[in-house]
Amino acid sequence: MKGKKSIYYATMLVAALFAVFPLFWLVASSFKSPFEWFARPVVWIPAHPSFDSYAAIFGLPAPSITVVGGVLVPSFYAFRNSLLAAIGTTLAAVAIGYMGAYSISRYKTGGAMTYFFVLTSRMLPPVAVVIPLLVFFQTLTLVDTVEGLVLIYLGVNVAFVIWIVRGFIDDVPKEVEEAAALDGVTKWSIPFRIILPLVKGGLAASALFVFILSWTEFGIALILTQYNSTTIPVQLFKYEFGGGPALGPMAALSTLAVIPVIILGYIIQKQLVKGLSMGSIRGRR
């Protein structure tokens, strides 16, 4: 029995190691000095950990890498923009997605087509529409605004909410609504007062996915943002060290960028597994 236990832990540790190793590499890189970034032989753990990479991304004095161009644009703004875009997208996607999912689940609005139509929004490679999108947004003066970014992320990510939440609503027995209706709750308020609390787990799970997807998106943001709405993934590409990638500041910024998502993930982890298990993902009967 004891031997079995240790096999369990050993397996889990190996899996955890595999999951964490690239991240360890990333964090270690963020503490390396410029000439350890690409050094040979490999520097695993920097002998003299340097905080210059972290200083550089916030525009603080960083003697070893001052010439990295990105110091001119401190990452505060990128964090702010990313947070605004990701939170805005998440809230809007959950709200709009929930209403749509309810309608699709309960009323079969549009039948299979609407549902499939929503899913098609995840089938289009974003780079395929980014130029038409650019032309379109230009006419609306939405280029280089966080609002424009939220709109696009909403469009490409809301399918995730529909997909997850619809299954949850399917799993709520119709009797719940019928009973509520008998108690005098109008059909207008049933989805919000009765069903919403029952599918919180699904909303949390979908919120996390939407948050991650909009937090890490690169291709669209690269083309559509400049001065006012640079997000973290684009900010990464503002760090150069003499024409090559400045690995240290990039690693430092990505390390910091992972933290909010991990915290969020940890907070709603229970909801996540419980929520996802409720049924969404079990698919249709």
Task: Determine, following the binding rule CB under 8 A, whether residue 32 of this chain makes contact with other proteins.
Answer: no
Are 190 and 181 within 8 A, CB to CB? Answer: yes
Instruction: Please list, in sequence order, all residues whose beta carbon lies within 8 angstroms of the beta carbon of residue 17, skipping any fewer than 6 positions away.
Output: none
Q: Can residue 79 be called a binding residue for other proteins (CB under 8 A)?
A: no
Site string for other proteins, 190-209 (x = CB under 8 A): -x------------------
Question: Least distance in Å: CB of 215 to other proteins?
Answer: 8
Q: How many residues bind other proteins (CB under 8 A)?
A: 145
Say if CB 270 and CB 258 are below 8 A apart: no
Please, what is the minimum distance in Å from the beta carbon of residue 51 to other proteins?
Answer: 14
For other proteins, the closer CB: 26 or 198: 26
CB of 250 to other proteins, least distance (A): 6
Does 269 contact other proteins by CB under 8 A?
yes
Dist. CA 283–CA 168, nearest whole Å? 10
CA atoms within 13 A on the CB side of 250: 16
**Region 218-257 residues binding other proteins, contact defined as CB under 8 A:** 218-219, 222-223, 226-227, 232-233, 236-245, 247, 250-251, 254, 257
First to last CA, the chain: 39
Binding of other proteins by 83 (CB under 8 A): no
Please identify which residue in 18, 47, 48, 197 interacts with other proteins, judged by CB under 8 A. 18
Positive or negative, the CA dihedral 100, 105, 106, 108 is: positive
Q: Is 174 in the site for other proteins (CB under 8 A)?
A: yes
Task: Pick between residue 27 and residue 84 the one whose CB is nearest to other proteins.
Answer: 27
Interface with other proteins (CB under 8 A), residue from 3, 47, 72, 197? 72
According to the binding rule CB under 8 A, does residue 37 interact with other proteins? yes
Tell me if 168 sits within 8 A of 177, measured CB to CB. no
Closest by CA position to 94, among listed 212, 205, 203, 215: 203
Exactly one of 46, 80, 91, 103 binds other proteins (CB under 8 A); which one?
A: 103
Q: Which long-range contacts (CB under 8 A, 24 or more apart) does 163-166 make?
A: 163/118, 163/119, 163/206, 163/280, 164/202, 164/205, 164/206, 164/209, 164/276, 164/280, 164/281, 165/97, 165/98, 165/101, 165/199, 165/202, 165/203, 165/206, 165/280, 166/101, 166/104, 166/105, 166/115, 166/280
Binder to other proteins among 51, 108, 147, 176 (CB under 8 A)?
A: 108
Closest separation in Å from C-beta 276 to other proteins? 3
- For residues 134-153, which are near other proteins according to CB under 8 A? 134-136, 138-140, 143-144, 151-152
Output 49 or 108, the one with its CB closest to other proteins.
108
Q: Is 51 in the site for other proteins (CB under 8 A)?
A: no
Applying CB under 8 A, does 31 fall inside the site for other proteins? Answer: no
Phi (first) and psi of residue 283, to 5 degrees: 80, -170
Q: Does 210 bind other proteins (CB under 8 A)?
A: no
| Contact pattern for other proteins over residues 116 through 135, marking x by CB under 8 A | xxxxxxxxxxxxxxxxxxxx
The residue type of 241 is F
Whole-angstrom distance, CA of residue 173 vs CA of residue 151: 34
CA distance 100 to 103: 5
